[in-house]
């Protein structure tokens, strides 16, 4: 079995795939250290037990690592050097990479000789042109790694793979993808390669999210830091903003059920900025052939999809309302100039595929 591991600071999601990469089992363990398992190694052991797997049945473990920096632009076999490289990226992703490292170390503690692999959420965006990722900062600051990286890359890579399996590449040479969940981003993909994306140096940039602010003037960030301190500003921008800050709820379903003026405004804000950023992404790839929705909101919220598509009607995208209401895979009318699809997120299988490819290259 291939074990895919997605670790947070107090949780771990495990997904097992068989030799053909068909999903065999999945489990989520949370409250690690706070009423649940004592630590991540104990959580890993509990998860394998709940899935009915023994350590000896595992071929390898494959991990999602959020930030690979400029160095890791492809999946890697985890070595001491790679582990140190992931650790060096902790300042770039302080909310994510420490948990990813904990997951790798937990597997090592449980099954010391098991091969481990890492796939990076930033890697898919390494194909972007220098002018698309460079901030106009002094050279010394750019040399420290201050640049756009982009995230949700494993989700986008999986969508490209799935679309290539469903259609001829010419049908979606220029692909606009909305990854809409608690974390929100959009990506312009041309000929299977990332051209531009909304997240930047961190996952806080871009569209309105569940609790993250999205794009904000840097001088406003400095104002927050002056008033609340660095840690306070970080907390506000990442934990107290977005839909929560605007409408009182971070969950889109709760906002739509709230019936308040503030909640309605939060939904309006979410859709406005999705449409506005989409225009920039379409310009970056010089046109549009297909629109894809993924993520919890993207796959399940017909109202949000309809509002975004209405705002993009100038592209020639025409949605079938009935198909949209039923979350059908294909949403466009026959006369639409743009294909419109829902593609369920498939990040875990993408990670397993990437790990297997690296393992086969080692043979």
**Shortest CA distance to 214 belongs to which of 195, 174, 186?**
186
Those residues whose C-beta lies under 8 Å from the C-beta of residue 81, and which sit 6 or more positions away, are: none
- Catalytic option among 113, 121, 223, 301: 121
Paired residues of 177 in beta bridges: 187, 292
Q: Give Cα separations from 170 to 176, 190, 279, 287, 339 (angstroms).
A: 14, 10, 21, 13, 12
Terminal Cα-to-Cα distance of the chain (whole angstroms): 18
In the chain, the DSSP E strands lie at 2-7, 12-17, 23-29, 60-65, 76-77, 116-120, 174-180, 184-190, 193-197, 290-294, 339-342
Q: Give Cα separations from 338 to 126, 135, 248, 275, 291 (angstroms).
A: 27, 32, 35, 15, 7
The question of whether 217 is a catalytic residue gets the answer no
Q: Give Cα separations from 19 to 57, 60, 94 (angstroms).
A: 11, 11, 34
Sheet holding 339-342, edge to edge: 193-197, 184-190, 174-180, 290-294, 339-342
**Shortest CA distance to 196 belongs to which of 143, 153, 238, 155?**
153
**Are 25 and 4 contacting, i.e. CB atoms less than 8 angstroms apart?**
no
What is the spatial distance between Cα 363 and Cα 358, in angstroms, rounded to a whole number? 9
The residues annotated as belonging to the active site are: 121
């Amino acid at each position: 079995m291939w074990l895919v591991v997605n670790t947070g600071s107090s949780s771990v999601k495990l997904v097992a795939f068989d030799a053909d990469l068909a999903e065999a089992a999945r489990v989520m363990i949370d409250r690690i250290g706070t009423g649940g398992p004592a630590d991540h190694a104990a959580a890993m052991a509990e998860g394998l037990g709940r899935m009915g797997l023994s350590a000896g049945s595992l071929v390898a473990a494959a991990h999602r690592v959020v930030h690979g920096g400029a160095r890791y632009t492809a999946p890697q076999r985890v070595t001491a050097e790679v582990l140190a490289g992931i650790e060096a990226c902790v300042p770039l992703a302080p909310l994510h990479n420490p948990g990813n490292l904990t997951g790798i170390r937990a597997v090592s503690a449980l099954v010391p000789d098991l091969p481990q692999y890492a796939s990076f959420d930033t890697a898919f965006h390494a194909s972007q042109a220098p002018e698309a990722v460079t901030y106009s900062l002094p050279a010394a600051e750019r040399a420290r790694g201050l640049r756009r990286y982009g995230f949700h890359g494993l989700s986008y890579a999986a969508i490209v793979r799935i679309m290539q399996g469903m259609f001829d590449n010419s049908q979606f040479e220029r692909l606009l993808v909305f990854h809409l969940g608690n974390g929100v981003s959009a990506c312009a993909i041309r000929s299977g390669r990332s051209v531009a994306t909304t997240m930047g140096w961190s996952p806080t940039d871009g569209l309105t999210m569940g609790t993250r602010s999205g794009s904000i003037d840097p001088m406003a960030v400095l104002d927050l830091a002056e008033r609340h301190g660095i840690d306070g500003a970080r907390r506000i921008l990442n934990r107290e903003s977005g839909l929560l800050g605007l409408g009182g709820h971070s969950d889109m379903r709760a906002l739509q059920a709230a019936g308040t003026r503030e909640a309605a405004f939060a939904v309006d804000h979410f859709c406005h900025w999705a449409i506005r950023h989409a225009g920039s992404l379409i310009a970056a790839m010089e046109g549009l052939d297909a629109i894809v929705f993924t993520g919890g909101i993207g796959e399940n919220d017909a109202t949000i999809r309809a509002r975004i598509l209405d705002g993009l009607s100038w592209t020639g995208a025409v949605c079938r309302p009935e198909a949209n209401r039923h979350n059908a895979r294909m949403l466009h009318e026959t006369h639409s100039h743009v294909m419109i699809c829902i593609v369920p997120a498939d990040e875990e299988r993408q990670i397993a595929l990437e790990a297997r490819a690296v393992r086969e290259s080692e043979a």
